[in-house]
Amino acid sequence: MGTVRLLARGWLVALADAGFGDVKVTRKEFAEALKSEKDGEFRGSMPAGRLGVAATGDFKMSFGYATGSGLMLIDEVVTKWWLVAVPPGYDALLAGDAKAKPPVKPSKGK
């Protein structure tokens, strides 16, 4: 789940932008992780866009034979759903813009 790993790294960058870490280091680590995920993708292109839900699953198949019932095939699919929130400034991170600033919240003026 390269996309989920990148989203987690994107949240680390967002936290660093908010003052909870070293911005330069986290942005560099994000760029390295993005390159690594793209290089390691076996399908040729990594789906690094926005998403709201991701699913992972395990597939198990069992065979059995009983004299009374014959051949038995048991399929088991266990699915795990992930609800994913996209961090602010994620599009700029994917584009490789290391100098991009996070979106600024409008201030409540008097």
Return the closest-CA partner of residue 3 out of 57, 41, 47, 58.
Answer: 47
- What's the whole-model pTM score? 0.59
Question: Concatenated DSSP letters for the chain?
Answer: -HHHHHHHHHHHHHHHHTTSS-HHHHHHHHHHHHHHHHHT-TTSS---S--SEEEEEEEEEEEEEETTTEEEEEEEEEEEEEE-PPPTTHHHHHHT-TTPPPPPPPP---
pLDDT at residue 105 in the model: 55
pLDDT at residue 81 in the model: 80
pLDDT (tens digit, 0 to 9) for every residue of the chain, 110 residues total?
Answer: 777 788 888 899 999 988 898 989 999 999 898 888 877 776 656 555 566 676 777 888 888 888 888 898 888 888 888 777 888 888 888 887 555 555 555 556 55
